[in-house]
Each structure stands twice: as structure tokens, then as C-alpha cells.
Amino acid sequence: MSSDVSDGIAPGTPWRLGPWRESWTRADHAAAVNSAREAIGRGDVYQVNIVGHASAPYTGDPGPALTRVAGLPGARYGGVLSGSGWAMATASPETLVEVRGGRVVTRPIKGTRPATARGRRELLGSAKERAEHVMIVDLQRNDLSRMAGVGPVRVDELFAVRRWCGLWQAESVVSAGIEGPLDLAELLRAICPGGSVTGAPKLSALSEIARLEPVGRGVSMGALGWVGTDHLDLGLSIRTAAVDGERVHLWAGGGITWDSDPVAEVDEAAAKAAPLRAALAGA
């Protein structure tokens, strides 16, 4: 990565991470979950993804810390990007969209439990998690079906359990064959932002997100990856850390449905952020 992330700090300077500052308290986060549930009860939305932010001051070269984030196990998209005054690292497991072999593919992830035998049983047996997941699969199916140049949409795999760090997560595979010209800009307009980080219906969920979240999402919940002459592979920038010249930033959250328990949702967001915090701290 470049050495100009923080002016005056040379590569190799010892890294020190200060105390984390949350964008909201646990109580505030739980209140936002309840507010989202009220919107669902009114019929405004079916599901809303609520994301919180935390930041911490740092000194020293952020390169090794970001490299540790990128190397977290289970990352399908793991890497570091940097520019003048900024850098980011992702350990994302989720495919936003891939175009390869004559098909458009998206792999939404929704549903989380600790990576234990009990956690796996709970995830597979949870009616709430499955309903939440299927809503997003249907949303992704609809996004693909609205595009010109693609054929019938199919679900190749539904609610498969994958591991990311110390968590089980449920993933599905949704795809459509390419039957005509496929425009990149049209593809990105149809699929972005990803349904698993917004909710359903997407536009209504985005309105709720703007109302409820205290801090913008920055580079998180967006997309990054590769664009080639004969393929496209973009991952959602979840499980992502970013640094400016003074602070490191993290985002984490989860999908809220009517059956969501506020305390459990707050704990889930913390569990998703924990491996990134540990990697940044050097654990």
C-alpha cells in the first residue's frame, strides 16, 4: 500500500490503536431496531438493514494492520486499497455480482450464528433467519429480472451455511443466463446497492436507513473487485476497515424484521465487527 495514508508517517513506524468511539450506544442501537420494527408494522417496509459505525485514533503505519484484516479467514474478497490520504482493507465473503461463463450471478448472505455445532443447528432451524434470508433472495431475483439481456432467473442454491471467521452465515446463489447485450452501467444500476445491506422494498428501506443511522456508511456496504474484458466480479464491501490520516473506521449491522430481538441484533453487529477489531489490534 502507499506510504502517504498519514502525512509524515513512514512505512514500518510502530502501529498504535487508540480507544474505539461508537456512533451510538447499545441502547440507541436497540432503539433504532425497534423503530425499524415499527416501520415494518406500519407496512412501510418488510426488512431494513441497520448499520452502526465506530472509529478509533491511531498512530504509526496502518499497512500491517490492514493486511491482517484482509487475511481474515473466509474472505472471498480480501485485499487492501490505498490512495492519497486514505486506505481500506476488506475481508468480505459476499458476492454482489459476478459475470462469467455466460451467466450473471449474485450470492446474498443473510443470517448469522456463532461457528459452533449448536450455532449451525440454530441457524438452519431458525424460521426467522430463513424468512429474512428468503426476502433478500427474492429481492435479488427481482433485481436481475429487471435487466435487459438476461434470461430466466433461477436460485441455484438456497440457505447454504458458510463459515466466516468465528461465524456461520447463510448464503444463496441466484443467477440468470446472458441472452443479449449486457450494459455495465445498467447492470450496476439494477444491482446496487446490494439487497442484503439495504432491505426490502429497496427504496423504502433506503429511506428508513437514512432516517435511523447516525453516521454515513462511507466505503462500507458498497462494492469492490475486478472488471475485465470478459468477466466482472464485485464483492460487497462488508467486513471492511478504512483509515484516513487520523482515525480508523469500521461498520457493522444486520437485517431487521418484525421478529427481530433488539438485544440480539446489537450483539450480532458486535460479533461481526469483533474479528476486524482484533486484527487491527494485532490479536
Catalytic residues: 94, 110
Phi, psi of 31 (to 5 degrees): -65, -40
H-helix or E-strand containing 21? strand 21-22
Closest by alpha carbon to 89, among 228, 196, 212, 241? 241
Q: What ranges make up the beta strands (E) of 115-221? A: 150-164, 167-178, 199-200
H-helix or E-strand containing 40? helix 26-42
Contacts of 2 (CB under 8 A, 6+ apart): 82, 83, 84, 87
Contacts of 111 (CB under 8 A, 6+ apart): 123, 126, 129, 130, 132, 133, 159, 169, 170
Q: How many Cα atoms are found within 13 Å in the side-chain-facing hemisphere of 195?
A: 30
Contacts of 116 (CB under 8 A, 6+ apart): none
Closest by alpha carbon to 193, among 213, 214, 221? 221
Q: Amino acid identity of 100? A: R
> How far apart are alpha carbons 68 and 78 in whole angstroms?
10
H-helix or E-strand containing 51? strand 47-59
Instruction: Indicate the Cα dihedral angle 187, 191, 212, 88, nearest 10°.
Output: -80
